[in-house]
Structure 1
Amino acid sequence: MRHPSPRTASLAAASLVLALGAAACAGPKDSGDATSGAQGKPQKGGKLTVLNSQPQTDFDPARLYTSGGGNVPSLVFRTLTTRHRANGAAGAKVVPDLATDIGRPSKDATVWTYTLKKGLRYEDGTPITSGDIKYGIERSFAGELSGGAPYLRDWLIGGAQYQGPYTAGADGKKGKGLDSIVTPDDRTIVFHLNKPEGEFPYLATQTQTTPVPKAKDTGTKYEEHPLSSGPYKVVKNENDGERITLARNTQWSAKTDSERKAYPDTIDVRSGLDSSVINQRLASSQGADAAAVTTDTNLGPAELAKVTGDRKLASRVGTGHFGYTNYLAFNPKVKPFDNPKVRQAVSYAVDRTSVINAAGGSALAEPATTYLPNQKSFGYTPYDHFPADATGNPGKARTLLKQAGYPKGLTVTLTHSNAKDFETSPEIATAVQESLKKAGITVKLRGLEDNDYKDKTKNAKTEPGLFLAHWGADWPSGGPFLAPIFDGRQIVKDGANFNTGFLNDPSVNKEIDAINKLTDLSAAARRWGALDKKIGAQALTVPLFHPVYKRLYGEDIKNVVISDWTGVLDISQVAVK
């Protein structure tokens, strides 16, 4: 994921632990249902409140960097395809949204054709056309509306040079479109790509494929009142997404949208809140908070311990899995990590049990020995090239160090962020430090402020030899997971570089190209899994753990759906009555 994951772990403050303890003793008000507010037949009506810590800024489909149409945004913005709104692995499937199918490829997967469903309308009653989707994509190329996913710019013919419809072309005229997007009629749109891309149906879930009528485009002010194609419309957007009020879009029809349920009458989205306050409000579930959810705020270890001690609170915790891997990254250009045996020694020495404990325990993190997440849609293929007990294998590590020319051990530096999250935190760095010490590897910790950490670890010129890293998928497939990290042609010497191991293996690059030609997503997944296993043998990373998301929801919430695509509660399915 080229943007940081919004799935932030909430670290419990002492005051919150006390507050949750009080809530656990008293318990939420008796709803007559001892199991969960998620039980009972969902009905239309009522108001849903969303309490989030991450700001919902730039509420414009061109600027949003989302997977599967996002969560709050997907209530307003429909896309060509979308994620299936189902629990677990079933929710990792791509399905039609505005289009009649997930796309019809040419033989070599360089041309993709979509037909829009009949009867699609905006909130003002005007019809949605293929030309609107073309224009919506084109405006996402404008510098003024930057921030969205980069794939269309990379994949469309002429995309790398296109500057959007607001910039004058060579003829001095504004409004020029992209010739690689063709709309032969109002219901057909055709994409011409510069290389085979069998995963284009996944890309078509991105909010950039949201229709935007040119006549209603107000540029950077469009976010204040974007024209809805989904079940809800924006009534008010305060302070750049700090509070967004949504109401029903009466022009939306469930006949054209089998995915979104749209149970509540109104939705009140409040962002930028303190994570501890969010969890306290959800635990107490008083007043409007009884019909509240969060889509980005986890329970931290101490909070979770308090919540699980109360049966009713525990029944209101949703568990989610998202394609995300936390790992140690090596820079083979920096000694001693240019020696494969040293990298292998570190791989054997890591004590994943202590790392997982530092990340909050087994309820919040699962051990990883593969780079790809342990989900079928990614092509997960179990392997462990450097097998060790749950607490590591320091003996094997010492043997490899001796073979590498370090019989007395060695000293290395581990770079991490000082930010208090559970991905690259000092606690995890300390756990790694202690486990490597058993193998004779002395680890000096180098903690950086978060922005400095990101700048240094994503710059080819300043990348450290060993550092904590993480990667999340833009959609549930091996493509956006393996290619940015291991495709040698994506090494960036001046700019944001994600190929931390500087791998440029012709056989790996060739296999990536071959998989990209496959339009059978299941067959592609199997190939991604095999490629992951092949790359893993080079010990360019040490997979540590996959996060698990634990989130509270209010006691009046019903129809909780959490897919493996997002790992968070899907508010398009939630009912409050």
Structure 2
Amino acid sequence: MRRRRLVSVVVAVGLVAACTSPGGDVTVDTGTSIVIGAGSEPENLNPILGYAPDGAAKVFDGLVSRDASLDLVPALAAEVPTASADGLTWTATLRDGVRFSDGTPLSAQDVVFTYRSVLDDRTNTTIASRFDAVAEVTAPDERTVEFRLSYPYAPFAQQLTLGIVPRKAFDGVDVNSAPFNTAPVGTGPYTVAEWRKGDRLVLRANEDHWNDAPAIKTVTVVFVPDDNARATRMAAGEFDGTVLPPKLAHSYTGKAGYRIVRNPSADYRGLGLPSELPLTSDPRVRRAINLGLNRQAVIDAVLAGAGTPAATPISPHLDDWYDPKASFAHDTAEAERLLDEAGWREGPDGTRSRDGQPARLPVLYPAPDVLRKELALAAASDIAKLGIDAPVEATTFDVMLQRRDEAANVWGGGDPYDPDTAAYTLLHSRYAGQPGYVNMTNYRNARVDAALDTARRSLDPAARRQAYADFQQAYVADPGWAFLVFLDHTYVLRDKWDGQVPQVEPHDHGLVHAVWWNIERWTPKS
């Protein structure tokens, strides 16, 4: 696979080189500590339960990790694992001399325990569906792990970024409630010094890390879900870096001592359209809503241009898989024709109804998220222009899940690793009706299912490409969402460190990915 396109926009000015002590003396800032304002807080720090499954976990290492171009590279495995000729067996050989931060040597049994625990029905994990293909995990010896699959699964190596935990930490302990979940031990470049839930997480450098100790010795992550609050605290000097919506980050343009960093991502925002609501149960209505959205205008107005229009969950950054023809033009006339055809006709007041039932589609977003609020308002405005009542409501993620059958919710997700992980659990009918963040719209389409299944099981790259092209064309003919945009992630950083390397980012960009995905390799500026 050719390397993915990578675009990064950085505005840099000035350098903060010193600070003032309480006594008034000027002291040198060594740059060996950093305070990050994060927009989200993990529920736990246990990879088995779903913490940082795509790597960059800071406290843990996976068998593999990713470089700046997202290519897989060895981590705890001495080499990137490969499959047998039939695609059913993947073998990993562990690197010599790796120890957990408590001094315990890493063994193949730790890897086996980690993956078997994810597969255990008694484990309340959010990532079990990623390993549907795994039939058995075994350790022929202390350095070898074998994964046996029930069917060929071409992108399986992408799932081997999961952090490995020490088996002995769970002896006689329920994985779901183990003390480890908030005070973990890993092999990663950092250890957990303190976690005050709802406030902050403090990491200390693992001086004995197998890949050298980090130069930044202390990382303090402060959890502030409200975008405006993070912007205020960044302006007050509480943070060395934070993620901000583009409009809020723009105020730092030209400000001495700060950098604005804009990284591309496969992180989408979109409206999940409930497939069983009378209005949106008709594919013609779902197409009409997609055609009625002026995505570029939304990007320009809400994101200050920092994004790319989205039509499917497959990002343009998935170079070998993305089909640019699978898109929705902004075509209000065609949208109105489809609504008329579906029987939803305009009344004298301009609103549509069918058989006396008004066309109504509430649009919900999580209250602290300023960006989703603005996207919800912009999308609802376009939908209202079609004659559909689209009231916007602020709520919580829990309520959004509860009301997913009756409202359009502003969801986010996506990754730049493989189309399977971006689309399968989101749109395959086998996940319709299941709890949690899988197929939240109860979408069902036989052509989409067939294409996703073919692509998942085929070992032939050409056959996979064709299957994903088929998937995208089948999906835009019968959309289950109104995907809006792939975001550019925008950050503000004090200009005190070298080593930031841009990377196409996934949806998850709190503590783990984001501009600090490789913070263990950063060094203070001289």
What TM-score do the two structures reach when normalised by structure 1?
A: 0.73
Contact 1:123 1:229 in 2 (8 A): yes
- Which residue is 1:492 aligned to? 433
2-side partners of 1:574 and 1:482: how far apart? Answer: 33
Matches within 5 A, 1:209-288: 210-214=164-168, 219=173, 220-223=178-181, 225-234=183-192, 236-240=193-197, 242-254=199-211, 262-272=214-224, 275-276=227-228, 278-283=230-235
Matches within 5 A, 1:128-527: 128-140=106-118, 146-151=124-129, 154-157=132-135, 180-207=136-163, 210-214=164-168, 219=173, 220-223=178-181, 225-234=183-192, 236-240=193-197, 242-254=199-211, 262-272=214-224, 275-276=227-228, 278-283=230-235, 292-294=240-242, 297-299=243-245, 301=247, 303-308=248-253, 310-312=254-256, 316-356=259-299, 359-363=302-306, 365-376=307-318, 379-388=321-330, 393-406=331-344, 408=346, 410-411=352-353, 412-418=359-365, 419-422=367-370, 424-425=372-373, 427-439=374-386, 441-445=387-391, 447=393, 449-451=395-397, 453-458=399-404, 463-464=405-406, 467-473=408-414, 476-492=417-433, 498=439, 500=441, 502-505=443-446, 507-519=447-459, 524=464, 527=467
Contact 2:118 2:128 in 1 (8 A): no
Aligned partner of residue 90 in structure 2, secondary structure: strand
Aligned partner of residue 204 in structure 1, secondary structure: helix
Query: CA distance change for structure 1 residues 146 and 212 in 2, over 3 Å: closer, same or farther?
Result: same
- Which residue is 1:77 aligned to? 60
Task: Determine which structure has the larger strand proportion and give its number.
Answer: 2
Contact 2:45 2:182 in 1 (8 A): yes
406-415 vs 184-193, greater mean Cα deviation? 406-415
Contact 2:416 2:504 in 1 (8 A): no
Contact 2:384 2:390 in 1 (8 A): no
1-side partners of 2:241 and 2:96: how far apart? Answer: 34
Contact 2:226 2:369 in 1 (8 A): no
Any unmatched runs of 5+ in structure 2?
1-12, 19-29, 354-358
- Which residue is 1:552 aligned to? 492
Give 1:520 deviation, angstroms: 6.6
Give 1:420 deviation, angstroms: 4.1
Amino acid at match of 1:221: P
Give 1:552 deviation, angstroms: 0.8
Which of 1 and 2 has higher RCO (CA within 8 Å, sep 6+)?
Answer: 1
**Fraction of identical pairs, as percent:** 21
Aligned partner of residue 192 in structure 1, secondary structure: strand
Query: CA distance change for structure 1 residues 243 and 496 in 2, over 3 Å: closer, same or farther?
Result: closer
Give 1:451 deviation, angstroms: 4.2
- Which residue is 1:176 aligned to? none
Query: CA distance change for structure 1 residues 405 and 548 in 2, over 3 Å: closer, same or farther?
Result: same
Amino acid at match of 2:55: G
526-535 vs 492-501, greater mean Cα deviation? 492-501
Contact 2:15 2:496 in 1 (8 A): no
1-side partners of 2:462 and 2:256: how far apart? Answer: 40
Query: CA distance change for structure 1 residues 523 and 79 in 2, over 3 Å: closer, same or farther?
Result: farther
- Which residue is 2:51 aligned to? 65
Give 1:316 deviation, angstroms: 0.5
Give 1:469 deviation, angstroms: 3.5
Is 1:100–2:47 an aligned residue pair? no
Query: CA distance change for structure 1 residues 68 and 495 in 2, over 3 Å: closer, same or farther?
Result: closer
1-side partners of 2:227 and 2:471: how far apart? Answer: 39
Query: CA distance change for structure 1 residues 502 and 55 in 2, over 3 Å: closer, same or farther?
Result: closer
2-side partners of 1:481 and 1:211: how far apart? Answer: 26
**Cα deviation 1:46-103 (Å, max 9, x = unaligned):** 2233332433552233234324224xxx32211111122x2xxx1x222221112332
- Which residue is 2:523 aligned to? 575
Amino acid at match of 2:214: A
**Number of positions where the alignment pairs a residue of Structure 1 with one of Structure 2:** 481
1-side partners of 2:215 and 2:463: how far apart? Answer: 37
Give 1:358 deviation, angstroms: 5.9
**Cα deviation 1:221-274 (Å, max 9, x = unaligned):** 12454333122333x2243584444333333232xx8xxx72223333343576
Give 1:201 deviation, angstroms: 1.0
- Which of 540, 557, 561 is 2:501 aligned to? 561
Aligned partner of residue 133 in structure 1, secondary structure: helix
2-side partners of 1:526 and 1:371: how far apart? Answer: 17
Any unmatched runs of 5+ in structure 1?
1-26, 33-43, 158-179
Query: CA distance change for structure 1 residues 556 and 520 in 2, over 3 Å: closer, same or farther?
Result: farther
Computed over aligned residues only, the root mean square deviation of the Cα atoms, in angstroms, reads: 3.5
Query: CA distance change for structure 1 residues 214 and 347 in 2, over 3 Å: closer, same or farther?
Result: same
2-side partners of 1:152 and 1:540: how far apart? Answer: 21
Give 1:496 deviation, angstroms: 6.3
Contact 2:169 2:180 in 1 (8 A): no
**Cα deviation 1:521-547 (Å, max 9, x = unaligned):** 797466434422332122333221122
Aligned partner of residue 341 in structure 1, secondary structure: helix
